[in-house]
Every structure is written in structure tokens, then in C-alpha cells.
Amino acid sequence: MSDLLSASSLLMAIAAILFSLWYAEIAKALETSPKTHKEDNVAAKKAVTSVLVSKALPVALMALTVSLIFIPDAFKLAKESTLAFKQSGVAALGNYDAVRTAYCFVTVLSAVLASYMWVLVAQLWSLRKQLS
């Protein structure tokens, strides 16, 4: 289990680092306001497309992939914990495992990051269409 936690934490850390490095550019691109005339939006559309393709999509795909890889095991652990609690009640806390809990927490964080990144991708995609 600790190897699984190490792998998920490492991949989540990479996604989080890329997110923190590129978030400022993504946010700046989202501040772009479409101009009235299509011709005036050419440079802005190119910049938004660049951020979408080279920054937002890679982080969104990575975070989603990390989530999808580790969610099945996290669900299995959550199910085991729920069953143990139903059977033993509070006594189940005697079998508490911080590594398993941390694994589930990292998996949830990667799912949250993936969700947020896909919201940003959708916003950039919508903005790109408005700039056309």
C-alpha cells in the first residue's frame, strides 16, 4: 500500500506543480475580452489557443488520468472501511491505517484538481469560440 501511496503522491505532486506554474498564464488568458470586430481578436485567439493546448489541457489530462488510475483502489478502501465501521462501530478505529487514509485523500485531491482544470478548459474553449 505504501508503494501505491508513493506513486499516487508523486503523480499528484507533478500535476500540482504544473498547475501552480501555469495557473497565472491560464488566469491571464481567461481575462481576455472579445472585441467587437473579428479581425481585432486574431492575436487574442492565438494566445488563448496556445494556453489551452500547451498548459490547461496537459494538466487537466494528467490530473484526470491520475484520478482514474487510483480511484478504483480508493473506492475499494472506502468500501472496506465502511463495512468495518458497520460491523464493529467505533471499535473499527482500532484498525485505523494512516497510509490508506492518505492514499484516499491524495486520490480525492487529484479528482478535485482534475475537475477544476476541466472547468478552466471549458472556459478557455468557450472564450476561444467567442474570439472567432
What pLDDT is recorded for position 63?
93
**1 SS3 class:** coil
What pLDDT is recorded for position 29?
96
What pLDDT is recorded for position 93?
75
Which residues of the chain, if any, have pLDDT below 50?
none
CB atoms within 10 A of CB 33: 9
CB atoms within 10 A of CB 58: 14
Mind listing the pLDDT tens digit for each residue in 60-85?
Answer: 999 999 999 999 999 999 998 888 88
Cα angle 131, 32, 65 (rounded to 5 degrees) comes to 85
DSSP conformation class of 131:
T
Closest residue by Cα to residue 65 from 8, 17, 121: 8
Q: How far apart are CA 80 and CA 85, in angstroms?
A: 9
